[in-house]
């Protein structure tokens, strides 16, 4: 298992899980079919690319998830457990501030349920919604909602 496999699987879920796609379309009033793989400055994302998800790998560290050991190593050093964060941003336009606030409030449930249905994307040990940061309308009418997904993986020799 590795970061790339897990990230690719999560990317596929964002547009390929029918229930999640329906939840997002209901939340923001339109389907989201595009996932940008690298953290792209919002100013460089054109209006015709919206709505879209933007994904970027966050920090990683050893984990005791699989081994119970702080180093993440198992006996014989044949594998090591790691945890890492994956940031997923949803960008869309909404002119009405009240509507946008309701849209942002619907997103944690949709993403949380996605990982409850798919707790091991790409064969990772586990993945779940850890936290989210709404922009609270700062860039209005561009809406930005960022989620941090926690992933647990084991790298084997």
Quote the pTM value: 0.90
* pLDDT tens-digit map of 104-148: 999 999 999 999 999 999 999 999 999 999 988 788 999 999 999
Which pLDDT value is given to residue 63?
Answer: 87
What string of DSSP letters covers 5-55?
Answer: HHHHHHHHHHHH-HHHHHHHHHHHSS----EESS---GGGS-GGG-SEEEE
Which pLDDT value is given to residue 42?
Answer: 77
| Helix, strand, coil percentages in the chain from 3-state DSSP, rounded to 5 | 35, 35, 30
* pLDDT tens-digit map of 22-38: 999 999 999 999 999 88
């Amino acid at each position: 298992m590795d970061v790339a496999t897990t990230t690719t699987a999560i990317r596929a879920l964002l547009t390929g899980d029918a229930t999640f796609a329906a939840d997002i379309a209901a939340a923001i009033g339109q389907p989201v079919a595009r996932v940008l793989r690298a953290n792209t400055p919002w100013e460089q994302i054109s209006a015709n690319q919206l709505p879209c998800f933007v994904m970027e790998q966050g920090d990683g560290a050893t984990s005791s998830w699989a081994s119970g050991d702080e180093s993440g190593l198992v006996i014989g050093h044949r594998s090591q457990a790691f945890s890492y964060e994956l940031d997923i941003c949803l960008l869309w336009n909404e002119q009405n501030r009240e509507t946008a606030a309701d849209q942002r409030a619907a997103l944690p449930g949709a993403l949380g349920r996605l990982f409850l249905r798919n707790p091991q994307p790409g064969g990772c040990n586990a993945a779940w919604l850890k936290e989210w940061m709404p922009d609270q309308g700062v860039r209005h009418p561009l809406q930005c909602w960022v989620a941090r997904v926690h992933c647990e993986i084991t790298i084997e020799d």
